[in-house]
């Protein structure tokens, strides 16, 4: 009889469901893709229904259900923290505790209630610790039989950072850093101070950091303030936060803003306000401090385990610049990062932890290239679904039975400067679009970064874009020795493709809109890029499109950004893709073998988009 385990993450942010059968990953998806509510934290009923359907089973056939953390341990941390900081935090206490007493403390009952609606009542429930779920999501799908495991995030139950040893089917915890001392919460505090939204704006701060000047006296002063007043960084990478300056333990905000403003000599930046040089330099300073912490932690992890192989998970593992600093530091021979490194990936890790640790099932290692199947674990849709969308909206589309003909047409449009929505096969699991739910463009176009940010994505103009490049072309264009199929590392463009030195003067947009390289749309201001390496074996359709574009233009890469607009999740269905195409500056849309041209589409009433938008 087949062993089938459902993994669930929920009730904090980025809820998700995953399902495995005899240890093999079958499907995984975030709830936000179904509800259209970004970072949806609700019980993932839609994601569960999808993964059950993908597995071809009913809920009654499940062997077990795994939840990604231990709610009672988290409640213990909440109570002990409020007690330790009393009388501070009374307002926060009165807001949080009733919710816990009414719902979260009785998580087993709540889960059984929700699972009963799906037909899975009475199934064995397991609650691996939060960081064990992260560790399992990193180690078990990795291509390593043995590795050091480093997990870093905001906080789970008590742990904020853990080091573990993965060997065969076993994971052994070696070291743990506990709340409130958290690298993730330190980074989130600066996200808040710089006017971005915590738990989603960290990407923006990472993208802003390269605009800063590392040699500027202001940046040096900021680094000294951070390490001298806010955080004590030990040689092993462990940290102590000066809680006099932080409010997240018991308060309603991340920081004590008045103390930060006095400390740094600047006011907190308000959301959507102008970004100035001081903000760029502060973003760079905390990015550099975070990188230093993560590198020290990686050194400690590999030393304790005695392995030169390292796997990463937790929200901080989505900081691709920090990941690259580990790779460049000579600490490891090989490094692998879980593409759904945040809480969504905890659903997958919980299921895998139950299979290998609780149920003691042996592990089969998939080394080519890993067990994540390219992260293409979400829903796919048939031509029937596309035809339904065409009929519903009186849309116009051409169907191309010859995929070679389709890629030739799309390559020609891209070379003309057109923006293309590209929708193929199964949706990606994790925060990055990897070529199945992507918006694509020509990286040689010097206007493209501005066009994509402002006319297509409707977001801040300084945000960088990633190149997707075939693995065989990578060595000729980027200084990068590490595999990056999931867009989790950065590489520097080789000198022969650069056109100007790094500019550190002027306003943010004066720095941004200089002609830096032959590929300005994907080159950040420091000549770096968050690279996605595309293999023909793992991702044949996307590889074929890029190869076709190369044959036409000589350029072996495309801009690849997620198929969504600001404030909305990545599109899931053909209908969502079509409506996103119609309400943005995307010129052409490809869904499977269908090609839509914006100029041929009917005008849609505004009411259509009001039901689609997450805002």
What is the residue extent of each domain of the chain? 4-129+344-369, 183-335, 383-612
Check residue 251 and give its pLDDT.
Answer: 79
3-class state of residue 52 by DSSP: helix
* β-bridge mates for residue 108, sequence order: none
Residues 413-465: tens digit of each pLDDT: 999 999 999 999 999 999 999 999 999 999 999 899 888 988 898 888 888 89
Cβ proximity of 463 and 205 under 8 Å = no
Check residue 614 and give its pLDDT.
Answer: 38
The DSSP code for 95 is: H
Round to whole Å and give the CA distance between 560 and 582. Answer: 19
Check residue 105 and give its pLDDT.
Answer: 64
CA atoms within 13 A on the CB side of 3: 16
CA-nearest of 596, 435, 206 to 584 is: 596
Cβ proximity of 395 and 601 under 8 Å = yes
Per-residue H/E/C for 259-284: HHHHHHCCCCCCCCCCCCHHHHHHHH
Q: Taking the mean position of all CA atoms in its chain, how far away is CA 199? A: 11
- Structure-block tokens of residue 248: 């997240």
- Residue 14, sorted as left (phi over 0), alpha (psi -120 to 50) or beta, turns out to be left
As separate numbers, helices (DSSP H) first and strands (DSSP E) second, the chain gives: 21, 22
3: how many CB neighbours lie within 10 A of its CB? 15
How does strand 594-597 pair with strand 397-399? antiparallel
What is the CATH code of the structural domain delimited by 4-129+344-369? Answer: 3.30.420.40
- Structure-block tokens of residue 407: 């890629």
What is the CATH code of the structural domain delimited by 183-335? Answer: 3.30.420.40
Report, as ranges of residue numbers, the positions in the chain whose pLDDT lies below 50: 612-615
Starting at the edge strand found earlier in the chain, the sheet holding 146-152 runs 170-178, 159-167, 146-152, 309-313, 334-337
CA-nearest of 314, 341, 307, 331 to 144 is: 307
What's the topology of domain 383-612?
A: DHBP synthase (3.90.870)
Dump strand ranges (E) for 498-570. 528-534, 558-562
Angle in degrees, CA 106, 112, 117, rounded to 5: 135
Round to whole Å and give the CA distance between 309 and 301. Answer: 10
Are 4-129+344-369 and 183-335 equal in CATH topology?
yes
Round to whole Å and give the CA distance between 234 and 308. Answer: 22
Check residue 613 and give its pLDDT.
Answer: 43
From residue 437, alpha-carbon distances to 156, 248, 396, 434 in Å are: 30, 35, 21, 7
Cβ proximity of 183 and 290 under 8 Å = yes
pTM score, whole prediction: 0.94
Check residue 82 and give its pLDDT.
Answer: 59
- Structure-block tokens of residue 42: 């609700």
State the sign of the Cα–Cα–Cα–Cα dihedral 426, 430, 114, 21: positive
CA-nearest of 453, 462, 531 to 490 is: 531
Cβ proximity of 605 and 572 under 8 Å = no
From residue 211, alpha-carbon distances to 173, 313, 374, 553 in Å are: 38, 27, 32, 30
The residues, any chain, with a CB within 8 Å of residue 303's CB and separated by 6 or more, are none
């Amino acid at each position: 009889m087949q062993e089938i385990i459902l993994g669930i993450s929920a009730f904090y942010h980025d809820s998700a469901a995953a399902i495995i059968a005899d240890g093999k990953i079958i499907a995984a998806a975030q709830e936000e893709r179904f509800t259209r509510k970004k970072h949806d934290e609700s019980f993932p009923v839609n994601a569960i229904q999808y993964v059950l359907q993908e597995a071809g089973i009913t809920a009654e056939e499940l062997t077990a259900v795994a939840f990604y953390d231990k709610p009672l341990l988290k409640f213990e941390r909440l109570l002990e923290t409020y007690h330790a900081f009393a009388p501070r935090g009374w307002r926060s206490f009165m807001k949080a505790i009733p919710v816990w007493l009414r719902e979260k403390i009785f998580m087993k009952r709540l889960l059984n209630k929700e699972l009963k609606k799906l037909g899975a009542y009475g199934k064995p429930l397991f609650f691996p610790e939060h960081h064990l779920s992260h560790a399992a999501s990193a180690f078990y799908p990795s291509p390593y039989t043995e590795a050091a495991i480093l997990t870093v995030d905001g906080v789970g139950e008590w742990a904020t950072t853990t080091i573990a040893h993965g060997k065969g089917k076993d994971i052994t915890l070696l070291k743990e850093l506990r709340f409130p001392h958290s690298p993730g919460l330190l980074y989130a505090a600066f996200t808040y101070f710089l006017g971005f939204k915590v738990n989603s704006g960290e990407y923006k701060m990472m993208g802003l950091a390269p605009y800063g000047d590392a040699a500027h006296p202001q940046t040096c002063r900021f680094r000294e303030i951070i390490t001298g007043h806010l955080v004590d960084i030990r040689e092993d990478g462990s940290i102590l936060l000066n809680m006099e300056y932080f409010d997240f333990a018991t308060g309603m905000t991340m920081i004590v803003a008045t103390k930060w403003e006095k400390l740094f000599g600047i006011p907190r930046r308000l959301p959507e306000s102008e970004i100035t040089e001081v903000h760029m330099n502060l973003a760079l300073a905390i990015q550099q401090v975070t990188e230093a912490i993560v590198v020290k932690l990686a050194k400690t992890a590999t030393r304790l385990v005695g392995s030169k192989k390292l796997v990463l998970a937790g929200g901080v593992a989505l900081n691709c610049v920090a990941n690259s600093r580990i790779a460049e530091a000579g600490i490891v021979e090989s490094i692998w990062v879980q593409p759904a490194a945040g809480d969504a990936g905890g659903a997958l890790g919980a299921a895998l932890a139950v299979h290998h640790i609780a149920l003691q099932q042996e592990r089969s290692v998939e080394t080519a290239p890993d067990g994540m199947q390219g992260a293409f674990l979400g829903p796919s849709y048939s031509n029937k679904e596309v035809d339904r969308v065409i009929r519903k909206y009186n849309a116009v589309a051409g169907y191309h039975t010859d995929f070679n003909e389709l890629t030739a047409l799309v390559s020609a449009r891209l070379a003309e400067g057109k923006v293309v929505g590209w929708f193929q096969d199964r949706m990606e699991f994790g925060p990055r679009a990897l070529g199945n739910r992507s918006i694509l463009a020509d990286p040689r176009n010097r206007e493209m970064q501005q066009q994509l940010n402002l006319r297509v994505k409707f977001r801040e103009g300084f945000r960088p874009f990633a190149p997707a490049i075939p693995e065989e072309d990578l060595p000729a264009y980027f200084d990068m020795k590490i595999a990056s199929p999931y867009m989790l590392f950065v590489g520097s463009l080789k000198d022969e493709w650069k056109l100007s030195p790094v500019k550190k003067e002027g306003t943010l947009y004066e720095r941004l809109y200089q002609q830096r390289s032959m590929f300005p749309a994907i080159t950040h201001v420091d000549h770096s890029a968050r690279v996605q390496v595309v293999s023909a074996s793992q991702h044949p359709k996307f590889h074929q499109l890029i190869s076709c574009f190369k044959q036409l233009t000589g350029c072996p890469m495309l801009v690849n950004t997620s198929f969504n607009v600001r404030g909305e999740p990545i599109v899931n269905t053909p209908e969502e893709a079509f409506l996103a195409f119609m309400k943005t500056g995307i010129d052409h849309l490809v869904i499977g073998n269908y090609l839509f041209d914006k100029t041929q589409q009917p005008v849609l009433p505004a009411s259509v988009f009001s039901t689609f938008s997450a805002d």
